[in-house]
Amino acid sequence: MTQRFEFKEEWGTHDLMAVAAFRYCLGRRTYIVSDCVRWIIRWWETFHPQTKALMVKEVHEAIKLDRAGDACDLSEWVKITKLDPYKGLSGGQGIEVE
State the DSSP string of the chain. --EEEPPPGGG-GGGHHHHHHHHHHTT--STHHHHHHHHHHHHGGGS-HHHHHHHHHHHHHHHHTT-S-SHHHHHHHHHHHTS-TTTT----SSEEE-
pLDDT given for residue 49 in this prediction: 92
Per-residue model confidence as pLDDT tens digits over 64-91: 999 999 999 999 999 999 999 987 555 4
pLDDT of residue 93: 37
Cβ-Cβ contacts under 8 Å for 65 (sequence gap 6 or more): none
Question: Confidence class of residue 12 from pLDDT cuts 50, 70 and 90?
Answer: confident
Q: Rounded to an integer, what distance in angstroms lies between the CA atom of residue 37 and that of residue 20? A: 13
Which pLDDT band, with edges at 50, 70 and 90, does 29 fall under? very high
Least confident of 18-27, 48-57, 85-94: 85-94
